[in-house]
Amino acid sequence: MLTPNLTINAEGHLCIGGADTVTLAKTHGTPLYVMDENMIRENCRGFARVIREEYGGRGMICYASKALSCKELYRIVDSEGLGADVVSGGELYTALQAGMSAEKIVMHGNSKTNTELQMAVSRGVGRIVCDNLPELKRLDQIAGEAGKTVSVMLRIKPGIDAHTHDFVKTGQIDSKFGFALETGEAKQAVLAASLCPNLKLVGLHCHIGSQILDTEPFAEAARVMLRFMAEMRNELHVTLPELNLGGGPGIRYTEEDDPKSFSEIVRVMLAAIKVSCAELDYPQPFLLFEPGRSIVGGAGVTLYTVMAKKTIPDIRTYVLVDGGMCDNPRYALYHSRYEAMIANKADQPRDEQVTIGGKCCESGDLIGEDMPLQAAEEGDTLAVLATGAYNYSMAMIYNRNPRPEMLMVKDGEARTVIKRETYADIIRNDI
Ligand code: LLP
């Protein structure tokens, strides 16, 4: 199986976290997101363990909640001792409503509005990561008006190519995120931030990209950032105590994927930090790391009902389901690959090749093309695997399709953590 939390029971049904997906689909309807709480918790603990064992606990894992933001997720990561990375007023609001302490929140965004900055300042968000000089000035003013000193980090583009999809690469110079090292912009930002009377510059941040399968880009990011931090100490006499290396560890979407485990990634990153600090005679910084996908991605599946099968001779066979790009836009956006199976025939061989089509009025509304699948029939339950990250969080109501319910499974028991959207919800704001 793709992830260890998936099993097949005596009836030949796919189970996640001990719960029969066919029963869940029957009871709750489809499309349906199902998340496995134990796996999410295990992933949180795995990250924290490496920081504890290899770095004396001098760090904080902040779950990047853009991967999946809902109140229950913040409660879970909070109870595991993690902080959270939020990237909008909406994510910040959700985290605070879930009871997360503002101090453990890192606020991101390359185009934050004044309302978002005011909210972050007034609620006492622990660190705000500044992306550009106009934002820095506005934040300084907002902090001054609130009579507060705000801890900030600066988002730096370290100029690293992380070998991932163009749309999820962020660390290179041609990117809308952050300050470039090569042009002197980053140095200018450090100087500007240290002169802001209401801001306390605590460190630097970078994020090189997402779904990164190897360890080396993370080590390289650490080296580049520390070299720059040492340069700032030497040239501007600013010694920054914190380094935030963003997120990005990849997960297994298909059987061919072979990502490095996150413990390996963090270990390699920490080793690079230690070596660089020794070489540069720089104090080892407090480390922040913001994994999103690798905490929730493998912990989720999406269940659909097969509505029809359409074979176009010598061309392809479509299996049409009751969801699609509305609940998982990743194929439409990035041609992302997934594994799928007929949940009620999970013990049978996947000996057909099909294209899974969604219900939207859009030819590109596919879950994937040429995917191996058991012989599908109308009424079957189709499971798409590893959909825990960037599926619900990017879901939309195109064609006025309500967004699905989400279940959290723990030790075989399921509970609803996001209710299914209703037609009434959809017209709620229509006048
Ligand atoms: N920190 C920052 C500043 C980020 O921009 C991101 C992701 C993360 C952390 C978390 O990265 P992760 O560990 O999840 O790779 N929608 C795309 C992914 C976009 C990621 C954007 N930033 C997808 O579905 O693949």
Confidence of residue 1 (pLDDT cuts 50, 70, 90): confident
How far apart CA 422 and CA 29 sit, in angstroms, is: 13
Span from the CA of 390 to the centroid of ligand 1 (angstroms) = 9
Question: What per-residue confidence (pLDDT) applies to 246?
Answer: 97
User: Is 112 close to ligand 1, i.e. is its CB under 6 Å away?
Assistant: no
Please, is 296 exposed, middle or buried when counting C-beta atoms within 10 Å of its C-beta (0-12, 13-18, 19+)? buried
Span from the CA of 246 to the centroid of ligand 1 (angstroms) = 9
Question: What per-residue confidence (pLDDT) applies to 236?
Answer: 96
> What are the structural domains of the chain?
6-36+297-426 (2.40.37.10), 108-291 (3.20.20.10)
Name the residue of 167, 205, 210 to mutate for ligand 1: max ligand atoms within 8 A of Cβ. Answer: 210
Q: Point out the ligand 1 atom lying closest to the alpha carbon of residue 333.
A: 24
Weakest-pLDDT range from 167-181, 190-204, 390-404? 167-181
How far apart CA 370 and CA 363 sit, in angstroms, is: 15
Question: What percent of the chain has pLDDT above 70?
Answer: 98
Confidence of residue 169 (pLDDT cuts 50, 70, 90): low
Which residues are marked as active site?
Answer: 361
Question: What percent of the chain has pLDDT above 90?
Answer: 94
Identify the CA nearest to 63 among candidates 291, 401, 351.
291
Q: Taking 90 as the threshold, does the pLDDT of residue 162 lie above it?
A: no
Question: 385: number of CA atoms within 13 Å, CB side?
Answer: 26
Q: Is the dihedral of CA 136, 137, 140, 146 positive or negative?
A: negative
Question: What per-residue confidence (pLDDT) applies to 173?
Answer: 77
Q: What is the mean pLDDT of residues 55-64?
A: 97
Q: What is the mean pLDDT of residues 54-83?
A: 98
Q: Taking 70 as the threshold, does the pLDDT of residue 101 lie above it?
A: yes
Span from the CA of 208 to the centroid of ligand 1 (angstroms) = 9
Beta-strand pair 381-385/340-342 = antiparallel
- In tens, the pLDDT along 266-296 reads 999 999 999 999 999 999 999 999 999 999 9
Question: What per-residue confidence (pLDDT) applies to 164?
Answer: 61
Query: Alpha carbon 238 to chain centroid distance?
Result: 32
User: Is 207 close to ligand 1, i.e. is its CB under 6 Å away?
Assistant: yes
- In tens, the pLDDT along 330-353 reads 999 999 999 999 999 999 999 999
Report residue 266 as tokens: 């963090």
User: Is 155 close to ligand 1, i.e. is its CB under 6 Å away?
Assistant: no
User: Is 85 close to ligand 1, i.e. is its CB under 6 Å away?
Assistant: yes
- In tens, the pLDDT along 184-193 reads 999 999 999 9
Span from the CA of 86 to the centroid of ligand 1 (angstroms) = 11
**Helix, strand, coil tally for the chain in percent (to 5):** 35, 25, 40
CB-CB contact of 135 with 196 (8 Å):
no
Q: Point out the ligand 1 atom lying closest to the alpha carbon of residue 330.
A: 24
User: Is 157 close to ligand 1, i.e. is its CB under 6 Å away?
Assistant: no
Report residue 261 as tokens: 């485990």
Question: What per-residue confidence (pLDDT) applies to 389?
Answer: 98
Q: Which amino acid is it at 143?
A: A
pTM of the shown model: 0.97
Span from the CA of 85 to the centroid of ligand 1 (angstroms) = 10
